[in-house]
A and B are shown apart, each in its own frame.
Chain A
């Protein structure tokens, strides 16, 4: 009930597209997704363990920053790819990772 006392018109109830272009807002999840895939491919092809681990981190970060409208399939596929990169690197070479120093 509006305080004016004046009759209120049946206003526009539908919310507008909350952001006309959500991609403009924050590109982090997309970048992280892409980075994750690149790193996991590097890890698989070049058999670099640290690449694979970074890929796992990237896919986690992408998931944390994702919008609710984002496709879960994309998230899951990047996540699975990074996990498979880690697993494959260890199957091929069970040696532990050596620190860079």
Chain B
């Protein structure tokens, strides 16, 4: 019995050892062979097979780990021999009975002598070390993830606090100027929600309506992406600031036809390239606003001089000079249609829809490191917006200006039509062909031969009529020409 226990112990240690490395047993056949050998060893209770089995197990494994397993296997075997012996209370001084393990003795001795000479200290693979330290890359990864999650929560909360601080500061002014403050479009009836509409973790919207001259005002608080750690790190290299974008949609009858913009030079250059209306109507480069007493940082883009004169009244200049650092751009346009659309050729058949709009983009002070208190400094800018709404309503071009403006708009439309003329013709042609093809298909698909004949005749008649009409037209033109 004692022998059997020892056999089992000897077998199990290296066996469990090798089981821990699943990847070694990729080939199913190996496992089968191994199993067979294992059971065979149990059946054949001879010492030779017992001693061979550790070696066999070793040879089925990878070359890399052969040496280590051999060494360790040997060590383990010997240790366990000792252990089992002591557990069983074997009082013999020798580790094992010489008589019983004849064959086994030789092998270990032989391999031992082999190993004596070149004592190579082999690196134990990391996962056999059983220590957490070897998994330091994984710990790093998890720490990174935790840091990301922490930043997400902190950033989200900060943006939330900033948004609500802004709203609390501006609530009174808005409620005194607009009947409806806050609407998310879900209610059937138009009632003030009195709350910001959160679109994102960094974008908050507010819709105000119910005032003379304007259809409505959409305020977008575009904060920095504080909830995204990547963005936070990118901002460390390239500082940016939160922005408040206000878009006032004017009623058609409440604004005259002009295109005008004022803002930082950089912003205006960019807008001139991007915006459809600014690129078409304001062809000159942004001019310095120094002529009107504006600081150097601000520039003006205008359709015509008269508009600039009209817009730059004392109060506006006061607003612009005092809050120049917070103003990114201000755009008044009756032809506003958003940024230039990149459309494929052949698709642009209609002018984009335009709306009379006033656009304001303000930078929140602090350039990223804003606190809720900074929102108070934006309140005068909202007053400027309200003032601009009234001003846009009151300002009318004189006769000359109106003529120029109308000419400009007609010119733009003509250019557009010329560009798309060819495309429109092609579109009409293709439509006609499609109709003919559909007709022919219908005729072909008709099962009843009689119906087919009738449809064909009808189609022929229609074509004849068309030809006749064309001929008539040609005749008429000829007569007129004469």
A interface, CB within 8 angstroms of B: 1-4, 6, 8-16, 18, 53, 56-57, 60-61, 64-69, 92-99
Contact = CB atoms under 8 A, between A and B. Distances in A.
B180 A99 contact: no
Interface of B: 22-23, 125-127, 134-138, 141, 144-145, 148-149, 152, 176-180, 183-185, 190, 197-201, 205, 207, 209-212, 214-216, 218, 220, 225, 227-230
Contacts of B178: 2
A91 to B, nearest CB: 9
Contacts of B179: 1-2, 8, 11
Given A12-B215, A95-B126, A96-B137, A57 B148 contact: yes
Nearest to B23: A93
B211 A96 contact: no
Contacts, number: 99
Contacts of B218: 15-16, 18
A92 B25 CA distance: 11
B47 to A, nearest CB: 35
Nearest to B184: A15
A6 B212 contact: yes
A94 B211 CA distance: 67
A78 B185 CA distance: 31
Given A57-B148, A94-B127, A15 B216 contact: yes
A96 B207 contact: no
A14 B183 contact: yes
A97 B137 contact: yes
Contact of B136 (A9, A53, A64, A96): A96
Chain A binding surface SS class: loop
Nearest to A98: B137
Contacts of B126: 95-96
B207 A57 contact: no
Given A11-B209, A14-B183, A60-B145, A92 B23 contact: yes
A32 B148 CA distance: 15
B180 A11 contact: yes
Nearest to B207: A15
21 contacts: A2-B211, A2-B212, A8-B179, A10-B210, A11-B179, A11-B180, A11-B216, A12-B209, A13-B210, A15-B184, A15-B185, A15-B205, A15-B218, A18-B199, A66-B200, A67-B200, A68-B200, A94-B127, A95-B125, A96-B126, A96-B134
Contacts of A95: 125-127
Contact of B212 (A4, A61, A69): A4
B216 A12 contact: yes
Nearest to B22: A92
B190 A13 contact: yes
Contacts of B214: 11
Closest 10 CB pairs of A and B: A13-B190, A15-B207, A97-B137, A96-B135, A11-B209, A64-B228, A11-B210, A95-B127, A15-B185, A96-B134
A99 B200 contact: no
B185 A96 contact: no
Contacts of B229: 64
Given A2-B211, A92-B22, A96-B134, A53 B141 contact: yes
A56 B145 contact: yes
Given A15-B185, A92-B23, A97-B138, 19 more contacts: A2-B210, A2-B211, A8-B179, A8-B212, A11-B210, A11-B215, A11-B216, A13-B180, A13-B183, A15-B184, A15-B207, A16-B218, A53-B141, A56-B145, A61-B230, A64-B225, A67-B200, A68-B198, A96-B135
Contacts of B190: 10, 13-14
B269 to A, nearest CB: 21
Contact of A61 (B183, B201, B216, B228): B228
A18 B218 CA distance: 8
A78 B183 CA distance: 33
Contact of A64 (B134, B141, B152): B152
A65 B199 CA distance: 11
B205 to A, nearest CB: 6
A65 B126 CA distance: 38
A93 B20 CA distance: 10
A11 B211 contact: yes
B358 to A, nearest CB: 15
A8 B210 contact: yes
A12 B217 CA distance: 10
A10 B228 CA distance: 41
A12 B218 CA distance: 12
Nearest to B201: A64
A100 to B, nearest CB: 10
A1 B176 contact: yes
A19 to B, nearest CB: 9
Nearest to A28: B228
Nearest to A17: B185
B137 A99 contact: yes
B211 A8 contact: yes
B144 A68 contact: no
B379 to A, nearest CB: 16
Nearest to B203: A67
Contact of A14 (B138, B185, B212): B185
A80 to B, nearest CB: 15
